[in-house]
Structure 1
Amino acid sequence: MPGLQTVALSVVAGRGARFEDAARSGWSHLLEHMVFKGAGGRSARDIVEAIEGQGGQINAATGYERTSFQVRALEGGLDLGMAVVADLVLRPTMDAADLVREKQVVGQEIAEAADAPDDLVFEMAQQAAFADHPLGRSILGVEASIGTAQPDTLEAWRAALYAPEALVVSAAGAVDEDELLALAERDFGGALAGPATPAPPPVSFQGGVRAQAKTLEQANLVFLLPAVGLTDPDYFALRLFAEILGGGMASRLFQEARERRGLAYAVDAYADTYADGGVLGVFAGCAAKDAAELARVAAGEIEGLAASVEGAELARAKAQLKGSMFMAREQPASRAEQAAGQALLFGRTLSAAEVAERIEAVEPADLARLGERLLGGKVSAGAALGPRAALKAVEAFHRGLFG
């Protein structure tokens, strides 16, 4: 990226919490914590001081299908960044005393998420949608499952999760391609293949309701419908459907639920996608007395959008989607992550022109077809968290769509 004086490095494993069984729930996230406790002869403090001493930053994130290690550095910082991340991924220390402490830290993270309603309601909705499937379990896991991890078993999980055949090294910004290739060969070229890792079970949206009474000022609501995945031909139709439905202040949900009816301060729609499936979701925070009515409004707007779309709102959604994707491409860290994800899914990167072409190719008939796919199974899921008066909102959403 010409003109930049910084570089972003992402080393991304195409595996995450979706590869766990129930006994190892949360191990991928725990492992991500543990590798920072010491690796390649560096202590936890050495790791961060080495990166920060050169003006950089280091971080990591665990998802259902990916685990990502990221370094932001000044120009010239790729050498050190690559060496440190390679140590984290391939040569962590796995000290037993560190593991005991880190289990406590993760336990506090689990408790913190449970105390945050706008986090907890999404976890509840995920459980309602996918039940005992790995996607129905929290990425953080539960204390019982992370408590069973030992240094040797966690090391075996690392060898499977971060196996070299699952890794992509990606960099953007002030980076020279020849240098990147040489450093990748130096630091990852000797990595040994991991153990055979079974493919995760296919996406299975089962549908259901999770409702929990809690003393809160507002009801927190999430409604979900089964949707398509990242590799599906209707992927961009899904993204545009979510944008028109609740992607911004001009969206149908914002205008109807907030501006016209005053039912909610916060209401939006989104698409969560995995390789082979996904969900269309609606989130809202509202007064408990308005929860059922808001659910019916959300159902009605989905049904209406599935039936017809105006040319102007489709054009606006296309502009918004291209804007968000292209703005992300102007940030080195986002571009590095985006390229790694594309390489893992498609075996190549997609140009901005190709992405724009796919977005522009979506027609009203594509949204209608997607609407049929969203509603055809007559199944939904959702969660309601807050005062008791709001707890029937998920059922109201389902009835609004399917009777």
Structure 2
Amino acid sequence: MASVHTLSNGVRVVCDPIPGLETSALSVVAGRGARFEPADRSGWSHLLEHMVFKGAGERSAKAIVEAIEGEGGQINAATGYERTSYQVRCLADGLDLGSAVLADLILRPRLEADELVREKQVIGQEIAEVADTPDDLVFELAQEAAFAGQPLGRSILGTTASIGTATPEALSDWRDQLYAPDALVISAAGAVDEATLLRLAERDFAAARPAAAAPQAPEARFAGGQVVTARKLEQANLVFLLPTVGVKDPDYFALRLFAEILGGGMASRLFQEARERRGLAYAIDAYSETYADQGVLGVFAGCAAEDAEELAKVAAGEIAGLASSVTDGELARAKAQLKGSMFMGRESPLGRAEQAAAQLLLFDRLIPPVELAQGVDGVEPADLRRLSDAMLAPGRAVVSVLGPRRAGAAAGAFHQTLFGRA
């Protein structure tokens, strides 16, 4: 059973032993990310995540990975809008080293000027790669339209101009704010002993000190809009977004089930109608993306340009009609799929460690699996109808179209079908 402890400086520690395993996962997660960046520091959280691997404590960039890999482990990191995570997978006796290395990365990075110059070039190439990848860029354009003028509407990567202003000193100041102890959770799962983990956490993270000022994330506002970008491509890429609830909302599970019924698998409405019956798209799916206070229901599709307009009408029609016509079988299947994905994820030590850290940062407690299952099972058709009504009431949506010019008609068709206006 997982337990939670708090160090004297506010850093929280989660220990989740899993009997029978020979490996452990250790995640150190900061409850801050790109959403906390002011415009002039856009992309700095991601840049910082890259920079700490260039040297930390007494270890060089090469020594960091050699130390972990030399004991059979793996090390990685990820920056999101609301969290930044550093992860080590290791054998049962590798936790000591893993904790020491992650503490160096988070608390004692070198942030050397010459390495910063090189890493800005690397991230510049990463930004260019997104621009050259249609099925990545179409999501970036949709996100920008959905949350225009807000941190959530800016790319996690930033721009070459915004990361170009970063200096080692300014990046160090941002590190102090981003990784302050009040926002840190150390989470371990697998072959882990509670007393050992607490000793390591005290040894390696008790030195973390509060920041002089804590960054704040502004409230999210879904703007809506149409983004049509003509490109000479073989296929049109489409993203449709609607505003909905955040992860803390009571209708969170209703949203997850709505997305599953709409386009979560081969039995979903969109797959069956758009792909199987009409042959309009090879790839089509629905998803939900949730932040602390806001979420989006999304649909992605790739299709021939001449089919884009009709596909947009089908997607809008399925969204509009789902809640009023959901069957008992559809809802039961969606519940089974959602519980299956949640519990399969818990069979991974890293998945468990990351989930526990996220729950603690969002809810200040761990949520037992049985409570998650009850949340899913408790959703009724009336909940889907209430969610749908609230989602459609503002009359706002985002349509992002990237591909041949004739595919641009999909934008107006989606709005017209859903709201009665282009």
What residue is the counterpart of 1:207 in the other structure? 224
- Counterpart-to-counterpart distance in 1, 2:54 and 2:368: 38
- TM-score (structure 1 length as normaliser): 0.99
Q: CA deviation at 1:190?
A: 1.7
Q: Which amino acid aligns with 1:199?
A: Q
Runs of 4+ aligned structure 1 residues displaced above 3 Å come to none
- Asked whether 1:306 is paired with 2:323, we answer yes
Is this contact kept in 2: 1:29–1:140, CA < 8 A? Answer: yes
- Counterpart-to-counterpart distance in 1, 2:81 and 2:268: 29
- Counterpart-to-counterpart distance in 2, 1:85 and 1:167: 12
- Counterpart-to-counterpart distance in 1, 2:390 and 2:199: 47
- Counterpart-to-counterpart distance in 1, 2:208 and 2:334: 44
Is this contact kept in 1: 2:323–2:381, CA < 8 A? Answer: no
Is this contact kept in 1: 2:177–2:215, CA < 8 A? Answer: no
Summarize deviations over 1:210-245 as a string: whole Å, max 9, x none: 111111110000000001000000000000000000
Is this contact kept in 1: 2:401–2:411, CA < 8 A? Answer: yes
What residue is the counterpart of 2:93 in the other structure? 76
- Counterpart-to-counterpart distance in 1, 2:374 and 2:47: 40
What residue is the counterpart of 2:186 in the other structure? 169
What residue is the counterpart of 1:136 in the other structure? 153
Q: CA deviation at 1:394?
A: 1.9
DSSP-derived class of the 1:211 partner: strand
Q: Which amino acid aligns with 1:268?
A: D
Is this contact kept in 2: 1:129–1:382, CA < 8 A? Answer: no
Written as runs of structure 1 = structure 2, the 5 A alignment for 1:3-402 is 3-402=20-419
Is this contact kept in 2: 1:267–1:283, CA < 8 A? Answer: yes
Summarize deviations over 1:123-170 as a string: whole Å, max 9, x none: 000011111111110000000000000000000000000111100000
- Counterpart-to-counterpart distance in 2, 1:306 and 1:204: 24
Summarize deviations over 1:275-334 as a string: whole Å, max 9, x none: 000100000000000001000000000011132311110000000000000000000111
Q: How many residues align?
A: 403
- Counterpart-to-counterpart distance in 2, 1:287 and 1:187: 55
Q: CA deviation at 1:392?
A: 2.3
Is this contact kept in 2: 1:289–1:390, CA < 8 A? Answer: yes
Percent of aligned pairs with the same amino acid:
71
Q: Which amino acid aligns with 2:369?
A: A
DSSP-derived class of the 1:238 partner: helix
Is this contact kept in 1: 2:228–2:402, CA < 8 A? Answer: yes
- Counterpart-to-counterpart distance in 2, 1:16 and 1:214: 32
Q: Which amino acid aligns with 2:149?
A: D
- Counterpart-to-counterpart distance in 2, 1:395 and 1:195: 49
- Counterpart-to-counterpart distance in 1, 2:152 and 2:125: 22
Is this contact kept in 2: 1:307–1:371, CA < 8 A? Answer: no
- Counterpart-to-counterpart distance in 2, 1:345 and 1:219: 37
Q: Which amino acid aligns with 1:278?
A: G
* Alignment RMSD: 0.7
Q: Which amino acid aligns with 2:173?
A: A
